[in-house]
Homo-oligomer: A and B are copies of this chain.
Amino acid sequence: MSSTLPAVPLPAVPMTLEGASVLHQMMKVKWPAWRALPSARQQELAAEAEAVLGDGTKSAPFAMLGHKADLMLVHFRRSFEELAQVQLALSRLGISEYLETVNSYVSIVELGLYESTGKTYKELADRGVAVHSEEWDKGIEEVMQRQRAAMASRLFPDIPTAKYVCFYPMDRKRGEEKNWYMEPLAERARMMSEHGMIGRRYAGAVRQIITGSIGFDDWEWGVDLFAEDPLVFKKLIYEMRFDQVSADYALFGTFFVGLRFAVKDLCPFLNGQMPQWPAS
């Protein structure tokens, strides 16, 4: 192996694992039109929708607070093609006449390997492997495969079963002075690690799923938080806002907050009753 240093600088992009394809659909219910339907027709339409949504592990409904949406459907799938299939399958249903999809988010479950990245890049460089050479790519892929196997359940999870959900998209700022993408990898890794410390203290109370959406939707990441007590969302995000990575570099989109209910309770929900969760 060559002892000369690589001609190009080490890559700036962190190693990243991708998993499930995710679609959030935010919908408004056309309440008066639904109300006007005979009960039998309501049940028929709800049953058709339930058949598409399944048992709630891969497609789950949430009752949303505020006017931004009445209903949010979250879908976890193996591929974008499967997402397209479920989106189209819902569109063709009779119930689609009573639901208007007013917002959405397309993304992929993502685990950023900030810690391994620096180590792996350095190791390969120390061995004299040229950046982006075949050997380099092989070295990277080996690490990724190992991690992918170790984190399979986090990459392709079921939708968590907590009572409350909080979803929002976010960007890293590229300002004229504060520019995340111009910070050295080590500095970004340090800030992400500090950020992760806070998350760890909330680990028992909140489950977080990060999805990446660069190239797929209008923000760079989507964040889903799941908890039994919605106050935890506020406490966690407020505390994180004082982190350097959030204080200086986070830009936030629209926040959605809602309550989980069972697929089988779609009809009562549409008739204005907040279903129990966990469902009886």
Interface positions of A (Cβ within 8 A of B): 11-13, 16, 18, 23, 25-26, 29, 31-32, 35, 63, 65-68, 70, 80-81, 83-85, 87-89, 91-94, 96-97, 101-106, 108, 132, 164, 166, 168, 174-179, 181-182, 201, 212-218, 225, 230-231, 233-239, 241-242, 244, 246-248, 250, 254-255, 257-259, 269, 271-274
CA–CA, A67 and B230, complex, Å: 27
User: Do A23 and B65 touch (CB < 8 A)?
Assistant: yes
* This protein's copies in its complex: 5
User: Do A23 and B66 touch (CB < 8 A)?
Assistant: yes
Nearest opposing residue in chain B for A181, CB measure: B247
Question: 20 interchain pairs (CB within 8 A)?
Answer: A12-B242, A16-B235, A25-B67, A31-B91, A35-B92, A65-B83, A65-B87, A65-B104, A80-B164, A80-B230, A84-B259, A89-B272, A166-B216, A174-B248, A179-B247, A215-B236, A216-B233, A217-B255, A217-B257, A218-B255
Q: Distance (Å) between the CB of A122 and the closest chain B CB?
A: 18
User: Do B242 and A214 touch (CB < 8 A)?
Assistant: no
